[in-house]
């Protein structure tokens, strides 16, 4: 199935991605990487760098049609929610409403929302049950509770199956590397850096710690269930921060522990009751607190060891970027100074041949001001005007015989000064306007480019899926043509031929080499082996007592396909019923399957193939009824010689190919007519054994038996006055 995980690059999300991928699902991730890290996700996935509140998310839902959405994206820091409640609400509320709306509109079947124990606030009722009073003390808990409310309403109004988990304190590997911090990750990082630990309070406040892999397991079990509502996900235990520090001391020397005053918004004690989640989902935590801490410590220790060289490179790159940024910051001023120096030099050169009345002097200053204004805008334009005015006044005083006061009384000099200012202001203004337009156009272009890149990504994915489907339909082993050709083996009126053809068909289309078909005995208590794959080292019991296998009885009684998702070694991977009319007459089983083929697609294909087998057998039964006069001795189920030879030939072939044994028995004394002897024979043999005529003698074919196992049947025949002799197949000419 297609699973979308929002916040999938985060601490919890990456572990959830691991779990769903291991179960054979396709992983899609939406994450803006504000606190997540793309390197956290080690399994194949499709990644979209977006905020879950973005309108662009609709294109992703439209093109992929997800089966389930796991919403883990959120602002998770309580301190941030108190200091910036608007940021907290924007992140946690707009995102959840957008995801719920898109999930409803694009047919998502399951929506799981990550809430928090923070919705309960401070309470004296420990452990906290789901129906406890909701009283969050920080905006973070408030926004989570509102998210739960939205989920409930989307189920009530639109029928979207929503499920909310109130997590206790989740910890584990990958936490706290980029913003997703908790007390465990803070302590771990401090310990690795040999820094002192800071505890807010006396350290006796308690938390219900749960290891992240247990959380991922709970989310997966919720995905498989149909439950809607709210559940606590916790270990139902309490550990103080001082106890956590004592455990850490067992793995690492702690420098110092400092205790400070409690922070606002922190909860004193927390322990969530997990009775309901255990009962409803059948979930149980696998890791004890100490085991989880040890696994987390080992990961942090390994991470910090591998991080040193990367940190050195990052520091070097940061220094380079800092120097580059500093140079870019002061470069306009440097170029402005260099520009006025060059103008001053050129003016000095001009004044050797001309006086101040020469127009050449003014032209050079104009060029300088215009160039600086166009390149850098109004700010540097003003500086260039000031520099030009200063240079102009200096030259008037130095070479023109003016003093500072007389300059401002000279109309010509005032015109020059005004022209500098006017040209500088106009050039700087025009430059800033154009730059502002360019900046706005760049923003629009970047927005369009981002939209285009997203659409291009979705287009490429859609095209890839389209080509894959085309290839599957036209060229793959599971194309309609291949399925038609493979199922032609079922086109027979002989039930035994259909069984053999079914084995070959399933082997080919489901890519397996171990398939069996068992028929159901008339009393419904046993299964008898009818046909199986001819693979080496593939042996099966000839008879199965159904009282020992409830799962197989359920397949027969309920007429449903069974998938061995718990990988029980005593059961096949998949079992399906063969139904004739409204009665199960046999079961088809697959005993070996490639892990990557354990998907809903192959399960559905198996179901379709078994339905084809059922239809073929129903057709064979109808044919059998129609030709019963020609096939059996009248008023008996004794096969005429022609039909008996067919059956015997088929049995011999099955023994050679599949190793399914049989015993051929000849009746030595003929007691009365066929009608008289048939009842005595029928009561002494099983319902899958056969009676037939050969060379005017009566023969029995005891299915799935060798000579040793056939002795019981022969003894029963003897008690009924029938003498028999076991024959080899070479003793009877087929």
Catalytic amino acids? 140
The first and second tokens of residue 614, run together, are: 């059922």
C-alpha count within 13 angstroms, C-beta hemisphere, residue 355: 4
Give me the residues paired with residue 4 across strands: 28, 69
Which residues in 547-573 are b (16+ Cβ under 10 Å) and which e?
eebeebeebbeeeebbbbeeeeeebbb
CB neighbourhood size of 523 (10 A): 7
Q: Say how many Å lie between the first and final Cα of the chain, rounded.
A: 52
- 116 three-class SS: strand
The first and second tokens of residue 267, run together, are: 């909860």
Identify the CA nearest to 167 among candidates 126, 212, 123: 212
Identify the CA nearest to 500 among candidates 699, 692, 639, 655: 655
The first and second tokens of residue 155, run together, are: 């189920």
Count of residues making up the chain:
734
| φ, ψ for residue 518, nearest 5 deg | -115, 135
* Residue keyed to tokens 């083929």: 597
* Inter-residue contact 365 to 388 (CB < 8 Å): yes
Instruction: Give CA angle at 16 (105, 139), nearest 5°.
Output: 70
CB neighbourhood size of 209 (10 A): 25
Q: Which residues contact 675 (CB under 8 A, 6 or more apart)?
A: 633, 634, 635, 636
| DSSP H/E element including 2 | strand 2-6
Which strands, in side-by-side order, build the sheet including 697-703? 638-639, 690-694, 697-703, 662-667, 724-727
Instruction: Give CA angle at 678 (674, 680), nearest 5°.
Output: 130
The first and second tokens of residue 102, run together, are: 């898109």
Give me the residues paired with residue 29 across strands: 5, 47
Alpha-carbon distance of 300 to 308, in angstroms, equals 13
């Amino acid at each position: 199935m297609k699973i979308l995980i929002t916040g999938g690059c985060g601490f919890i999300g990456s572990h959830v991605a691991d779990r769903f991928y291991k179960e054979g699902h396709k992983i899609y991730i939406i994450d803006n990487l504000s606190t997540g890290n793309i390197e956290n996700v080690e399994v194949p996935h499709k990644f979209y760098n977006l905020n879950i509140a973005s309108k662009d998310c609709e294109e992703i839902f439209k093109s992929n049609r997800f089966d389930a959405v796991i919403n883990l994206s959120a602002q998770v820091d309580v301190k941030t929610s108190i200091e910036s409640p608007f940021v907290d609400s924007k992140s946690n509320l707009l995102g959840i409403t957008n995801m719920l709306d898109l999930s409803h509109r694009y047919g998502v079947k399951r929506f799981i929302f990550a809430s928090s124990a923070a919705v309960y606030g401070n309470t004296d009722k420990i452990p906290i049950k789901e129906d406890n009073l909701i009283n969050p003390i920080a905006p973070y808990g408030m926004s989570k509770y509102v998210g739960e409310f939205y989920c409930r309403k989307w189920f009530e109004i639109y029928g979207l199956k929503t499920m909310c988990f109130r997590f206790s304190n989740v910890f584990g590997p990958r936490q706290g590397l980029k913003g997703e911090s908790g007390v465990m990750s803070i302590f771990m990082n401090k310990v690795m850096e040999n820094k002192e630990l800071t505890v807010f309070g006396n350290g006796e406040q308690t938390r219900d710690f749960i290891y992240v892999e247990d959380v991922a397991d709970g989310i997966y079990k919720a995905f498989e269930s149909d439950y809607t509502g709210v559940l606590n996900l916790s270990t139902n235990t309490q550990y103080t921060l001082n106890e956590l520090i004592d455990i850490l001391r067992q793995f690492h020397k702690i420098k110092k522990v400092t205790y400070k005053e409690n922070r606002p918004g922190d909860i004193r004690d927390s322990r969530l009751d997990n009775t309901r989640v255990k009962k409803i989902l059948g979930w149980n935590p696998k890791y004890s607190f100490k085991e989880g801490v040890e696994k987390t410590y080992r990961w942090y220790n390994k991470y910090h060891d591998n991080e040193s060289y990367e940190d050195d490179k990052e520091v070097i790159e940061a220094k380079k970027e800092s120097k580059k940024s500093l140079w870019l910051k002061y470069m306009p001023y440097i170029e402005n100074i260099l520009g006025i120096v060059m103008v001053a030099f050129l003016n000095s050169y001009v004044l050797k041949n001309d006086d101040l009345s020469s127009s050449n002097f003014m032209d050079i200053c104009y060029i300088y001001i215009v160039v600086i204004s166009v390149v850098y805008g109004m700010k540097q334009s003003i500086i260039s005007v000031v520099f030009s005015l200063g240079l102009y006044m200096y030259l008037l005083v130095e070479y023109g015989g003016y003093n500072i006061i007389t300059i401002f009384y000279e109309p010509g000099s005032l015109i020059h000064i005004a022209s500098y200012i006017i040209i500088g202001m106009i050039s700087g203004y025009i430059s800033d306007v154009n730059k502002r337009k360019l900046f706005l156009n760049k923003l629009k272009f970047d927005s369009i480019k981002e939209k285009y890149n997203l659409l291009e990504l979705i287009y490429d994915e859609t095209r890839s899926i389209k080509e894959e489907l085309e290839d599957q339909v036209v060229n793959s082993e599971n194309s309609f043509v291949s399925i038609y050709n493979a199922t032609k083996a079922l086109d027979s009126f002989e039930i035994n031929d259909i069984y053999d053809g079914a084995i070959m068909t399933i082997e080919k289309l489901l890519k397996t080499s171990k398939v069996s078909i068992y028929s159901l005995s008339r009393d419904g208590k046993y299964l008898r082996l009818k046909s199986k794959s001819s693979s080496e080292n593939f042996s099966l019991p000839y008879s199965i007592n159904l009282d020992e296998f409830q799962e197989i009885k359920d397949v027969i009684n309920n007429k449903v396909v069974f998938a061995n998702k718990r990988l029980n070694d005593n059961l096949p991977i998949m079992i399906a019923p063969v139904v004739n009319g409204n009665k199960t007459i046999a079961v088809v089983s697959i005993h070996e399957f490639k892990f990557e083929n354990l998907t809903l697609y192959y399960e559905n294909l198996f179901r379709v193939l078994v339905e084809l087998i059922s239809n073929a057998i129903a057709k064979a039964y109808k044919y059998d009824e129609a030709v019963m006069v020609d096939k059996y001795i009248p008023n008996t189920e004794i096969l005429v010689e022609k039909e008996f030879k067919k059956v015997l030939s088929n049995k011999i072939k099955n023994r050679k190919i599949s190793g399914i044994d049989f015993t051929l028995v000849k009746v030595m004394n003929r007691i009365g007519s066929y009608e008289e002897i048939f009842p005595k024979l029928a009561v002494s043999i099983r319902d899958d054994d056969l009676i037939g005529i050969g060379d005017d003698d009566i023969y029995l074919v005891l299915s799935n038996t060798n000579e040793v196992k056939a002795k019981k049947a022969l003894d029963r025949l003897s008690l009924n006055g029938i003498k028999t002799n076991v024959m080899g197949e070479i003793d009877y000419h087929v």
